Amino acid sequence: MAREAQLVPMNIGSGRTVFVKVPAKVIDYFGMEAAVVAGTTTQTNRERRAHTRKRYVKDQLSGTTEATPVAVGVARWVDVGGRSRRGRAQGKLIIVPTEIPHNPNDLSRGYRMVSLRVPGNATNYSIAMWINTTFTTHKPAYFLTPSKQKYPVAVPIVADPNPGNRDGVPTAPATPNP
């Protein structure tokens, strides 16, 4: 059975820490440290009541085809919270190169890449600083931004990568919600 993705903390500046969901194989390859999260998922017993729906004959596609009513029974399941209910993926898609060649016999073919979704409000600098500090093995030299531009990872490490959000009350660090 495959291991599930885990949460890795990321400092996006102004006292804000977010958690990036990273696949377990990527965590193992890059030697990342996952956040220790206990009891953040919630389980809810859900139930869909009985109803009827229309069923059309799938071999015919015309406006004169009659729909047959079909009864749908009660459905019960356990819903594990923390999963996105939206159809689209959220955040920026970045691409990180690995040291694994596409073809070991022909190195001119290039190297494999992994893609990760990071928060949409993370700057390229904070992403580079996160990669530079969190990836301990096979550290890449760059990553590709959503517009496919190379951005270097060797950036100076600072305490606050985005100090501009200091108006009002500082935001508290986020709690992980997988």
Which tens digit of pLDDT belongs to each residue from 99-153? 888 888 888 888 889 999 999 888 999 999 999 999 999 999 999 999 999 999 9
Residues 123 and 96 grouped into a single domain: yes
Residues 98 and 148 grouped into a single domain: yes
Residues 102 and 119 grouped into a single domain: yes
- State the chain's mean pLDDT as an integer: 79
Q: Is residue 104 in a domain?
A: yes
For residue 83, count other CB atoms closer than 10 A to its CB.
Answer: 10
Residues 11 and 71 grouped into a single domain: no
Q: Is residue 173 in a domain?
A: no
Comparing CA positions, the residue from 114, 122, 116 lying closest to residue 89 is 116
* CA atoms of 123 and 134, how far apart (whole Å): 16
The strand pairing partners of 78, in sequence order, are 45
Residues 47 and 89 grouped into a single domain: no
Residue 121 CB contacts under 8 Å (≥ 6 apart), including other chains? 12
Residues 11 and 27 grouped into a single domain: yes
Q: Is residue 147 in a domain?
A: yes
Residues 53 and 110 grouped into a single domain: no
Residues 75 and 131 grouped into a single domain: no
Q: Is residue 16 in a domain?
A: yes
> Which CA distances in Å does 131 have to 56, 122, 140?
53, 12, 8
Residues 29 and 65 grouped into a single domain: no
Give the global pTM: 0.64
State what percent of residues in the chain have pLDDT above 90.
29
Q: Which residue has the higher pLDDT, 44 or 9?
A: 9
Q: Is residue 159 in a domain?
A: no
Residues 139 and 56 grouped into a single domain: no
Residue 71 CB contacts under 8 Å (≥ 6 apart), including other chains? 50, 52
Token pair of 16, please? 């804000």
- Overall domain count for the chain: 2
Residues 61 and 137 grouped into a single domain: no
Residues 28 and 114 grouped into a single domain: yes
Q: Is residue 162 in a domain?
A: no
* CA atoms of 109 and 102, how far apart (whole Å): 6
Domain that holds residue 74: 43-80
Amino acid at 46: R
* CA atoms of 165 and 172, how far apart (whole Å): 12
